[in-house]
């Protein structure tokens, strides 16, 4: 089952139940095809002045690749706790666990005109400030702060390359809790483009949201 099947399932589900998920957008495809998948939907909801996330995982099978279709309007403070619950459920499963099964976020590639995916299987989210490391913080205003110093997006690679290379300079990626999920996916794709070798940085799989 490939990405075009996912589109069909997503469309049928949305139209059949009069539901809408606005996927994040980007101009590049990280992963184009995913086989043996289960779609999971995280909807944007409002109740009065409150923003809520509604999760539908009726079609999820533990042993498959999970595709999370998350509405881009949701702030991370609402979306990430729900995603953490899903991750925990899959990681703690013993009976039907498949070590090769991955987790992906879906998004729309506006250039290729296709649904694309970015993996997050090995990401462990923390809803707190990091205790150590070089903090690369993505603000809700689309700014980047490296240890509280503003750095232009196009200059981040050069800035990080100039930092001393030692174990105390682990690069830790952090996000403002009010960043929208759509912006978060764009930031993750940007991070994916950075060339940070293990000899320069000991990349953590933790991401911090606060």
**Strands across the sheet with 144-146, in order?**
124-126, 206-209, 171-175, 134-138, 144-146, 149-150
**Which of these three, 121, 142, 161, is where a domain ends?**
121
102 shares its domain with 14 = yes
80 shares its domain with 171 = no
**Which of these three, 103, 121, 139, is where a domain ends?**
121
Entry pTM: 0.88
* Per-residue pLDDT, 17: 55
Provide the number of structural domains found in the chain. 2
pLDDT tens digits for range 183-202: 999 999 999 999 875 433 34
Which element (helix H / strand E) includes 13?
Answer: helix 3-16
Non-local CB neighbours of 181 within 8 Å, separated by 6+ positions: 24, 70, 71, 72, 73, 74, 75, 76, 79
14 shares its domain with 113 = yes
Give CA–CA dist 75/182, Å, rounded.
9
pLDDT tens digits for range 14-24: 445 567 899 99
pLDDT tens digits for range 118-172: 999 999 999 999 998 999 999 999 999 999 999 999 999 999 988 887 755 688 9
Which structural domain range is residue 53 located in?
3-121
By the 8 A CB rule, do 180 and 73 touch? yes
Tell me the Ramachandran region of residue 48: left when phi exceeds 0, alpha when psi lies from -120 to 50, beta otherwise: left
159 shares its domain with 177 = yes
195 shares its domain with 159 = yes
By the 8 A CB rule, do 100 and 34 touch? no
């Amino acid at each position: 089952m490939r990405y075009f099947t996912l589109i069909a399932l997503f469309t049928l589900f949305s139209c059949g139940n009069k539901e809408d998920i606005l996927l994040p957008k980007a101009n590049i495809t990280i992963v184009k095809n995913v086989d043996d998948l289960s779609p999971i939907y995280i909807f944007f909801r409002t109740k009065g002045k409150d923003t809520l996330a509604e999760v539908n995982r009726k079609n999820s099978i533990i042993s498959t690749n999970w595709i999370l279709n998350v509405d881009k309007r949701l702030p991370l403070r609402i979306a990430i706790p729900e995603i953490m619950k899903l991750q925990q459920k899959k990681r703690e499963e013993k009976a039907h666990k498949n070590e090769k099964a991955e987790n992906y976020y879906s998004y729309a590639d506006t250039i290729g005109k296709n649904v694309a995916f970015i993996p997050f299987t090995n990401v462990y989210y923390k809803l707190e400030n990091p205790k150590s490391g070089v903090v690369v913080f993505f603000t809700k205003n689309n700014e980047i702060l490296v240890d509280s110093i503003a750095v232009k997006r196009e200059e981040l690679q050069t800035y990080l390359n100039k930092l001393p290379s030692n174990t105390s300079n682990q690069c830790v990626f952090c996000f403002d809790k009010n960043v929208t999920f759509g912006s978060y996916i764009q930031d993750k794709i940007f991070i994916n483009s950075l060339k940070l070798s293990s000899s320069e940085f000991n990349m953590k799989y933790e991401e911090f949201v606060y």
